């Protein structure tokens, strides 16, 4: 049968063209918020971190999302036919593109607070006190008002020759400091060194504090150092909204300059989440993606069944669907809960900040009510008890689906490492902790136990997913130091207790594993792997342009890496394209 074809008239064709034109005239002109980003000619330098770890020539960004990746010809197929279509932009020669970087464990407001007076790197008590004195003298507002509280952080008694805790008297021996309330956070954020005036705010100090220690002298008098839960004894005025916002913006500014596009805030200060939510209500957005862990306090009523977890508020910038629980203290300050006594202090095995009964009771309840449970656990005893609680929770909840996390997972028995993978628990670890602690680790743990510390390769081989972070301000925010530490296990000068080959080099990660641990794995750990963590069509266009190829350059050049541009939702938020 021959079909009759209807030949459109000239008027009909014109009418059709006009109709199509009207349709496109009503569409928003999106061309100028789209672009093709390409490697230098004849190179592939865009690391997508997709399931195949593909490295491609170009990526097409349109609006807030990645639309296509591949060669320029492949990407062109996806481009619009507009005469004002997307521009092709080329990154500088030698540079690369990676997905937006994530930090899976950090403390946002604490970083901004510590930045007021940074004490990292001091070599003695006297040197630290001098920094406090100089800070007061150089700030007229502080100098002229003795009622102001002076905050700082980063001191590390383990890097001092004495390796002894400082005292209030050390601060008050300086006439400029004397009589002022001074509160100085330790490097690991598990101790406060305070002046006499600050110590007086504690009132009557109890002789015993569950989950904490007030350091005392031979006469049982407080010396001015408060460990873990004892820090809560201080009674200080709450920071103002302006002070909180200043701390927040300080952190964000530095984070974007380092290529961070998302941060998991680990709930050290319960004020943080309240501030983030107020900031969203005020600004309708945030300048960086935040995955916030809600603070747990065993003294409060259980709230897991009265508070609803949420994801992607403020157009995907804020998520609150996890709870942060502290199981024990820290290795540096001797509070990590161990199975056996400290090698350098046989009088203690550390301590739990929460009892085993609380862990076994609370963890299954939170999981059953739909919360991801993220537990700070440093010592091998603490990690074992937390895994016990996770394992028992399988009776009431699908633990794997809720992706519980061990925050730090620093010292673990071989059996618990294997159990970690079998349970589907995520290990949220910090490679820079390893190179910070390796100088004193064997003294603290002894030769038979030290190999269990920061055993990243063993944990990964157990089938566990690893999400990498810094724990800033405990360590530097710099993600390139994280990258360097993970693959070398040496100081940035190439040293370690085991020589230039690295401290327990068999525990090193590969560059590919490390990049995934800083991109797609933090996304998985925050339930956002379908929208973040890799450069794939349909995902949000978060990316970073780095000044050099960290996947190939010699390790001694990694720390030279700079961020050329940071992009969130397709828009440049730092640097330039």
Domain spans of the chain, in order of start: 10-90, 108-233
Biggest CA-to-CA distance, the chain: 110
CA distances from 466 to 105, 289, 407 (A): 12, 20, 10
- Residues 489-504 have a mean pLDDT of 97
- Given pLDDT bands bounded at 50, 70 and 90, which one contains residue 3? very low
Residue 536, pLDDT > 70, answer yes
- Given pLDDT bands bounded at 50, 70 and 90, which one contains residue 240? very high
Residue 401, pLDDT > 90, answer no
Element (H or E) spanning 154, and its range? Answer: strand 150-155
For position 14, what pLDDT does the model report? 44
Sheet holding 87-90, edge to edge: 65-70, 58-62, 34-38, 87-90
Q: What are phi and psi of 316, to 5 degrees?
A: 90, 10
Is it true that the peptide bond before 473 is cis, omega within 30 degrees of 0? yes
For position 397, what pLDDT does the model report? 67
Taking the C-alpha atoms of residue 29 and residue 33, their distance in angstroms, rounded to an integer, is 9
- Residues 238-253 have a mean pLDDT of 94
For position 77, what pLDDT does the model report? 78
For position 32, what pLDDT does the model report? 47
Residue 126, pLDDT > 60, answer yes
For position 181, what pLDDT does the model report? 96
Query: 343 in helix, strand or coil?
Result: coil
Most confident of 199-208, 278-287, 368-377: 368-377
CATH 2.60.120 assigned to 10-90: no
pLDDT, one tens digit per residue, over 521-532 is 999 999 999 999
Residue 162, pLDDT > 90, answer no
- Given pLDDT bands bounded at 50, 70 and 90, which one contains residue 267? confident
Cβ–Cβ < 8 Å for 53, 517: no
Taking the C-alpha atoms of residue 343 and residue 330, their distance in angstroms, rounded to an integer, is 15
Taking the C-alpha atoms of residue 217 and residue 497, their distance in angstroms, rounded to an integer, is 33
Residue 11, pLDDT > 60, answer no
Taking the C-alpha atoms of residue 482 and residue 489, their distance in angstroms, rounded to an integer, is 10
Residue 428, pLDDT > 80, answer yes
In the block, residue with structure tokens 């952190």: 251
- Given pLDDT bands bounded at 50, 70 and 90, which one contains residue 431? very high
Instruction: Quote the mean pLDDT of the chain.
Output: 91
pLDDT, one tens digit per residue, over 467-485 is 999 999 999 999 999 999 9
- Given pLDDT bands bounded at 50, 70 and 90, which one contains residue 85? low
pLDDT, one tens digit per residue, over 95-107 is 999 999 999 999 9
Residue 544, pLDDT > 60, answer yes
Supply the CATH classification number for the domain 108-233. Answer: 3.10.310.70
CA atoms within 13 Å, Cβ hemisphere of 476: 17
- Residues 540-568 have a mean pLDDT of 98
For β-strands 34-38 and 58-62, DSSP reports them as antiparallel
Give the lowest-confidence range in 22-26, 214-218, 365-369, 514-518.
Answer: 22-26
Considering only residues 455 and 81, tell me which one the structure prediction assigns the higher pLDDT.
Answer: 455
């Amino acid at each position: 049968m021959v079909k009759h074809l209807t030949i459109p008239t000239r008027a009909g064709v014109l009418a059709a063209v006009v109709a199509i034109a009207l349709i496109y005239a009503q569409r928003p002109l999106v061309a100028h918020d789209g672009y093709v980003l390409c490697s230098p000619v004849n190179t592939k330098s865009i690391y997508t971190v997709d399931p195949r770890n593909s490295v491609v020539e170009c990526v097409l960004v349109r609006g807030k999302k990645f639309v296509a990746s591949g060669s320029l010809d492949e990407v062109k197929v996806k481009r619009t036919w507009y005469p004002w279509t997307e521009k092709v932009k080329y990154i500088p020669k030698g540079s690369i593109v990676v997905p937006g970087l994530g930090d899976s464990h950090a403390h946002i407001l604490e970083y901004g607070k510590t930045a007021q007076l940074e004490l990292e790197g001091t070599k003695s008590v006297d040197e630290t006190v001098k920094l406090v004195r100089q800070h007061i003298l150089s700030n007229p507002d502080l100098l002229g008002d003795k009622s102001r509280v002076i905050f700082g952080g980063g001191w590390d008694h383990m890097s001092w020759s004495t390796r002894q805790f400082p005292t209030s008297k050390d601060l008050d021996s300086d006439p400029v400091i004397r009589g002022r309330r001074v509160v100085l956070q330790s490097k690991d954020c598990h101790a406060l060194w305070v002046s006499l005036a600050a110590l007086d705010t504690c009132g009557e100090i109890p002789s015993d504090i569950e989950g904490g220690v007030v350091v005392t002298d031979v006469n049982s008098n407080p010396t001015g150092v408060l460990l873990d839960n004892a820090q809560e004894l201080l009674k200080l005025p709450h920071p103002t909204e302006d002070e909180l916002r200043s701390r927040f913006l300080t952190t964000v500014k530095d984070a974007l300059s380092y290529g961070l596009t998302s941060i998991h805030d680990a709930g050290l200060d319960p004020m943080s989440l309240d501030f983030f939510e107020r900031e969203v209500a005020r600004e309708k957005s945030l300048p960086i993606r935040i995955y916030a862990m809600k603070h747990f306090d065993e003294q409060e009523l259980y709230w897991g069944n009265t508070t609803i977890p949420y994801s992607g508020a403020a157009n995907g910038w804020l998520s609150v669907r996890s709870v942060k629980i502290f199981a024990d203290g820290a290795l540096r300050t001797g509070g990590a809960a161990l199975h056996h006594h400290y090698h350098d202090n046989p009088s203690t095995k550390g301590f739990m900040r929460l009892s085993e009964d609380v862990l076994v009771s609370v963890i299954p309840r939170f999981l059953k009510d739909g919360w991801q449970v993220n537990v700070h656990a440093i010592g091998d005893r603490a990690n074992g008890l937390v895994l016990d609680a996770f394992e028992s929770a399988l009776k009431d909840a699908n633990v794997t689906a809720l992706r519980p996390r061990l925050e730090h997972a620093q010292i673990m028995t071989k059996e618990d490492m294997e159990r970690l993978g079998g349970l589907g628990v995520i290990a949220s670890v910090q490679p820079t902790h390893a190179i910070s602690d390796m100088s004193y680790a064997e003294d603290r743990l002894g030769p038979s136990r030290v190999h269990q510390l920061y055993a990243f390769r063993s944990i990964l081989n157990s089938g566990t997913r690893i999400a990498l972070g810094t724990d800033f301000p405990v360590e530097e925010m710099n993600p390139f130091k994280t990258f360097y530490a993970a693959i070398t296990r040496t100081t940035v000068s190439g040293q370690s207790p085991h020589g230039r080959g690295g401290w327990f080099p068999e525990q090193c990660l590969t560059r590919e594993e490390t990049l995934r641990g800083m991109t797609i794995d933090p996304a998985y750990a925050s339930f956002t792997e379908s929208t973040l963590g890799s450069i794939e069509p349909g995902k949000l266009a978060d990316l970073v342009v780095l000044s050099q190829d960290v996947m190939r350059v010699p390790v001694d050049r990694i720390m030279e890496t700079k961020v050329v541009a940071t992009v969130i939702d397709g828009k440049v938020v730092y640097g330039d394209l």
